Every structure is written in structure tokens, then in C-alpha cells.
Amino acid sequence: MTDNETSSTGNFIRQIISEDLKKNKNNGEVITRFPPEPNGYLHIGHAKSICLNFGLAKDNNGECHLRFDDTNPCKEDIEYVESIKNDVKWLGFDWGKHLYYSSDYFDKLYEYAIALIKSGKAYVCSLSGEEIREFRGTLKLPGKNSPYRSRTIEENLELFEKMRVGEFEDGTHVLRAKIDMSSPNLTMRDPTLYRIRRVTHHRTLNKWCIYPMYDFTHCLSDSIENITHSICTLEFENNRPLYDWVLDELKVKCHPQQIEFARLNLTNTIMSKRKLLQLVEEKYVSSWDDPRMPTLAGLRRRGFTPVAIRDFCERIGVAKADSEVNIALLEHCIREDLNKKAQRVMVVLKPLKVIIDNYPEDKVEEFEADNNPEDPSMGKRKVPFSKIIYIEKDDFMEDPPKKFFRLAPGREIRLKHAYYIKCESVVKDEKTGEIIELHCTYDPDTRGGWSNDGRKVRGTSHWVSASHGVLTEVRLYDHLLLDKSGDDKDFISLLNPDSLKVLNDAIAEPSIKEAKKDVPYQFLRQGYFCVDSIDSTSENLVFNRTVSLRDSWSKIAKAKKQ
Ligand code: ATP
Ligand code: MG
């Protein structure tokens, strides 16, 4: 099996772990971690990492830690910490007692830094940020040693202590590892380990004014927690030698193995927290949980289920080369799950009034309808029918083209669960010419929607009784980005102007009054919907369309195979 192949039995990381277990490496233990930085909400890409890390631990009777990698106080916030915990739980994973923060290790990390200085492997550098960049060189040009590289251990200890107690301004000094300024790997050219930042940290408050860098913090946090396999995304491949260097130089007891995998890229959306933050801050979306966002909070509000997201993560597999997944696959996964669970209802999104001339004025009939034809255990409900009903505007055409099989003057269609009706006449607004209502007749011998004489109709429409219908707001969502590739620099110009359409006069069958948050619905012929968790009230129902019914995935998958 090559690196990029995955199978239902496993991926290359699973294989590494099972080899390790065979050799009884790490005493047969598997301890992984999911290490988000609390500087934004989790998105579907993080779900891939969560499913992988928690999944590997679970399958091997191990543990997975949730660790907040909170070493950059400028961008971090407690709101993000809470949302991340909530999202991981919602996805169905449990860190048990293993909730950690890198900031809890600040004292230990400081001691490790002192140890590096004492062994001559770290020094305080007083070049400016710009000079450090200049001295670093490029891929083609080797770097130059900092003039401060030869400071004595005593001098370094003294300066580092002064950095800690706040004697220096931000940016005046940093602590750097003393490795190799001519290394072909730029990461190894004396990377910065600590910088001065006079910023209040959301947990340690004002205790520290120096903060450790990611590369120093991450490996040591892994080691402190006895992580066995430190799984991260591909962009850290170049950092692996530094990960190993720090742990080797400090001769720590636990030296986890870093393994990289390809991050998830998804078409028609964005996976960068920075860009997602920009969408929120510049109000292109309403919030982090706007149903158009690829965040877990957004997907949840949109009506996605943890089952569908976990299924998606399973299907995309884990590979070592970057690739882009078509968003149609994610949509396919949610359809599959909701098809089994969603309660069917009839809702007319764009109503057109239909008067059934030969139906008695005050008569009301109730038709029985399956709540879910896929699952009889979900029972049946009653749908009232009366003289005036609504059908979809799109289900009628005055002058239909050849392939239009729905209602038209003189034509007959089936009303789902009810009767055949035939269009007799059309009433229009005198001024605008807009169609206001249709006059139809029904055939009493087609009760339940079936004729006794074998007469066939080609179209079936959903409908709602006018006097029983419930007015609801319906929000239709489409892809966030028009273009397929989401991580383009100029992504703002790619935003889909029709990513949200609000319909204010949709009319739903009366059973909708009991709609509960967290219960999925299928609006017949229109897609899967859920109650909006924020804006919907019992007086003003608001529904979000999770996904339409048309599945484009099988076509795409077929085309891919060829
Ligand atoms: P940042 O640019 O802020 O570092 P990030 O998306 O890497 O953004 P982290 O909070 O560092 O955010 O991510 C936590 C974990 O999730 C990391 O281990 C990271 O590798 C993983 N991760 C992030 N994005 C993806 C993605 N698109 N696919 C798979 N894993 C991801
Ligand atoms: Mg990151």
C-alpha cells in the first residue's frame, strides 16, 4: 500500500501504530492529543484531526488529550476555549480527565529553557525582528550567525531572567536555540524559543511577559503528557527536526513520534481560521455559527449531524499528500444520515393559491401520511385538506415547455396523499399580469392520490391547506464560495452573493407547530431542514435548509473513477 492509499481497515498512521504495538513500543500504550489554539472556532478540517486522534486512541484502548495550545495571548480568548470543548463533545468524543493547557506548563517550559541555556544550546539575541529575518538567509543563501550568538552562559542566564521580570521592552530581545545557521532547513537556523509580549494571558493573566514559541512548547507539552504519537498536519514536516532536537537536547524521558498527514481542503469554502475570522469581523456572515460557515458551530446550526461528519471524515481517509475534497461528498453524507432520520412534512416555499371549485365549502378531510417511508416505526400523521390550498409557484406553468410534467391549464396532477386535480382556469392581476390564483377541480374517485380507472398522471405536487397552514420563514443556503478553490488570496471576491436566500411567506402543514430544535425534517421535494436554534420561536418559526435533495456526489465519484 502506498502512502496515499487508504482502506476501510486503516490508513498509514493506523499501520504505524499497529507496528509499534507489535513491538511493544511505548509499553503498548497509545496516547494521542488534539491541540487546538483557542483563536477561533473549530471547522470541518479540525473534525478530521479530532476523528483521527480520538479515533486512534479509542481503537487502541488508549487516551486522547484535549490540549489548548494557548501560547499566543494576543489572539486567544476564553470564548474560543468554551466553543472548542462544546464542539469536540458534540462530535461525540470524550477527553475524560485529560483536559490540558500549554499555559499550565509555563513554569516547566521556563526551566527547560534555562537548562538549554546552561548546556550552551540557547542564547539571548538582541537583533531586531527585521535583522533576524535578514540574518536567516533564504533557501538558496545560508544564514549568518547573530553577533550575540557567542554570549556567555552567565550573560544569557542574566539577560533571560531580566526578560522574564519585565526589564525589557517588547521586541528588544528573544531567546534562540543555537543550532545551525547554514542548515538547509530554515526552521533549524537558530529558531526563536521565547519572545517578550506584555499582554495579559486569558489564564495566566499578568504572571508572564515572555511567552514560549509553538516549536518549543509543542514538543515539550507532548513529552510532559507522555504522548506516544504526535499527529499533525503536513506543514509541520519541516519542523519535525526541531521537534526532535529540543527533546533530544533536553534528554526528556518521553520522546513522542511526530507523524504528519494532509490537512483537509474542501471546495467552495474556506479552511483558514484567519479568513473565517475576517468574514465574521467584516460582517460577511452573521457570526461564527452562521449556517454558511464551515465551522462545526455553523454546520450544527445548519442541521448537520455528528454521525454525518464522522462518516465524512472516515470516507475521506488519511493520506500524506495534499488534495482537495469536493463538498458534494460532505453533502452526500448528511443526506444519507437524514434520509433515515428526517420526519417528512409538506411545506410550500413559494405559495400559489389553488381553489378547488367542486370541493365543498366547509369540508375538511384528513389524510394519513407516513412520517418516514424509510422507517415505519416513525409512525404516521394526519394532514388536513380543504377547498383552498397552496402549491408551489414553480409547480405551475401557463405555457409549459415539452418536458414540464407538472400543472398547466387543462392538465391533471396528483396532490400527494390527497386527490388528482385538474387546472380549469387562471386568474391574473389585471395590471401586472402576475398569476394570483388557479381554479381547479378534483376527482373524488382518486382519494389518497390514486385513481381506480388506471388513469396516470406524470406530476405529483405537495400542498398545504390554506386555512390550516402555518406561516414560516425559510432560509435557503448555498455554497459560501462560488469558485471551487477556497483558499485563494482574494477569497472575498469569490463569495457567493446568493449563499443565503430568505423566504418569508412559506406555508407549512400544521404538524410543523410541534417542530423541535434538533429534530431533522424533510420538506417533501425541497430538501432537509432544521429549526434555527437561535432565531426560531413558537410564534415565528424559522427553518434552515441543511441540504437540498439533489445529490451530485455519485456523478462526481463516477467521473473520478473513469
Ligand atoms: P492556525 O493557522 O491558527 O494554526 P490551524 O487550523 O492549524 O490554524 P490549530 O488550532 O492549530 O489551527 O489546529 C488544531 C489541530 O487541528 C492541529 O493539529 C491542526 O494540524 C489540525 N487541523 C487544522 N486544520 C486542519 C485541516 N484543514 N485538516 C486537518 N487537520 C487540521
Ligand atoms: Mg496550527
In this predicted model, what pLDDT tens digit does every residue of 132-148 receive, in sequence order?
999 999 999 999 999 99
CA of 503 to the centre of ligand 2 (A): 39
> Half-sphere exposure of 289 toward its Cβ, with a 13 Å CA cutoff?
17
Ligand 1 pocket member 300 (CB < 6 A): no
Ligand 1 pocket member 273 (CB < 6 A): yes
Fold of 273-343+473-561: Glutamyl-tRNA Synthetase; domain 2 (1.10.1160)
Ligand 1 pocket member 39 (CB < 6 A): yes
CA of 482 to the centre of ligand 2 (A): 26
Q: What is the pLDDT of residue 562?
A: 63
In this predicted model, what pLDDT tens digit does every residue of 81-101 receive, in sequence order?
999 999 999 999 999 999 999
Q: Determine the atom of ligand 1 nearest the C-alpha atom of 37.
A: 10
Q: Which residue is closest in CA terms to ligand 1's atom 1?
A: 273
Range 439-464 burial, b when 16+ CB lie within 10 A, else e: ebbbbeebbeeebeeeeebeebbbbb
CA of 36 to the centre of ligand 1 (A): 7
CA angle 58, 63, 64 (to 5 degrees): 95
Please tell me the distance from the alpha carbon of residue 354 to that of residue 364, in angstroms, as a whole number: 15
Q: Which residue is closest in CA terms to ligand 1's atom 27?
A: 45
Please tell me the distance from the alpha carbon of residue 558 to that of residue 549, in angstroms, as a whole number: 19
Kindly report the pTM of this predicted structure: 0.94
Q: Which residue is closest in CA terms to ligand 1's atom 29?
A: 263
Ligand 1 pocket member 37 (CB < 6 A): yes
User: 273 an active-site residue?
Assistant: yes
Do residues 474 and 344 lie in contact, with contact meaning Cβ atoms separated by under 8 Å? Answer: no
**CB atoms inside a 10 Å sphere around CB 173:** 22
User: 263 an active-site residue?
Assistant: yes
Q: What are the phi and psi torsion angles at 329 (to 5°)?
A: -70, -40
User: In the chain, where are the structural domains located?
Assistant: 12-263, 273-343+473-561, 347-462
Torsion of CA 528, 550, 263, 29, to 10 degrees: 60
Catalytic residue among 189, 273, 300, 387: 273
* Cell numbers found for residue 413: 396532477
Whether domain 347-462 has CATH 1.20.58.100: the reply is no
- Where helices occur in 443-505 by DSSP H, the ranges are none
Q: What are the phi and psi torsion angles at 350 (to 5°)?
A: -125, 95
Ligand 1 pocket member 49 (CB < 6 A): yes
Q: Which residue is closest in CA terms to ligand 1's atom 9?
A: 36
Please tell me the distance from the alpha carbon of residue 323 to that of residue 4, in angstroms, as a whole number: 10
Q: Which residue is closest in CA terms to ligand 1's atom 10?
A: 36
Which residues, listed in sequence order, are joined to residue 465 by a DSSP beta bridge?
389
Mutate to test the pocket of ligand 1, among 44, 46, 222, 314 (most ligand atoms within 8 A of CB): 46
Catalytic residue among 25, 37, 131, 353: 37
Ligand having the closest approach to the CA of 295: 1
Q: Determine the atom of ligand 1 nearest the C-alpha atom of 48.
A: 29
Ligand 1 pocket member 263 (CB < 6 A): yes
Q: What is the pLDDT of residue 10?
A: 72
Do residues 562 and 536 lie in contact, with contact meaning Cβ atoms separated by under 8 Å? Answer: no
Q: Determine the atom of ligand 1 nearest the C-alpha atom of 49.
A: 30
- As to burial, measured by CB atoms within 10 angstroms (0-12 exposed, 13-18 middle, 19+ buried), residue 46 is buried
Ligand having the closest approach to the CA of 41: 1
* End-to-end C-alpha distance for the chain, whole angstroms: 21
Do residues 178 and 192 lie in contact, with contact meaning Cβ atoms separated by under 8 Å? Answer: no
- As to burial, measured by CB atoms within 10 angstroms (0-12 exposed, 13-18 middle, 19+ buried), residue 190 is buried
Mutate to test the pocket of ligand 1, among 41, 49, 227 (most ligand atoms within 8 A of CB): 49
Average pLDDT per block of 10 residues along the chain, 562 residues long: 45 94 95 97 98 97 97 90 98 98 98 98 98 96 97 98 98 98 97 97 96 98 98 97 98 98 95 95 97 98 98 95 93 97 97 98 96 94 98 97 95 97 97 97 95 92 98 97 71 94 98 93 98 96 97 84 68
- Write the CATH number of the domain with boundaries 12-263: 3.40.50.620
Q: Please give the single-letter amino acid code of residue 349.
A: L
* Cell numbers found for residue 86: 462544546
Q: Shortest CA distance to 267 belongs to which of 480, 486, 478, 482?
A: 486
Those residues whose C-beta lies under 8 Å from the C-beta of residue 522, and which sit 6 or more positions away, are 338, 339, 342, 343, 344, 345, 372, 528, 529, 549
Q: What is the pLDDT of residue 125?
A: 98
Ligand having the closest approach to the CA of 53: 1
CA of 259 to the centre of ligand 1 (A): 14
Assign residue 268 a region (left: φ > 0; alpha: ψ between -120 and 50; beta: otherwise): left
CA of 231 to the centre of ligand 1 (A): 11
Please tell me the distance from the alpha carbon of residue 32 to that of residue 15, in angstroms, as a whole number: 15
* Cell numbers found for residue 277: 475570522
- As to burial, measured by CB atoms within 10 angstroms (0-12 exposed, 13-18 middle, 19+ buried), residue 466 is middle
Which residues, listed in sequence order, are joined to residue 193 by a DSSP beta bridge?
none
Those residues whose C-beta lies under 8 Å from the C-beta of residue 99, and which sit 6 or more positions away, are 65, 66, 67, 85
Catalytic residue among 25, 58, 197, 263: 263
Q: What is the pLDDT of residue 531?
A: 98
Do residues 545 and 474 lie in contact, with contact meaning Cβ atoms separated by under 8 Å? Answer: yes
User: 134 an active-site residue?
Assistant: no
Do residues 275 and 43 lie in contact, with contact meaning Cβ atoms separated by under 8 Å? Answer: no
Ligand 1 pocket member 271 (CB < 6 A): yes
Range 287-307 burial, b when 16+ CB lie within 10 A, else e: ebbbbbbbbbbbbbbbbbbbb
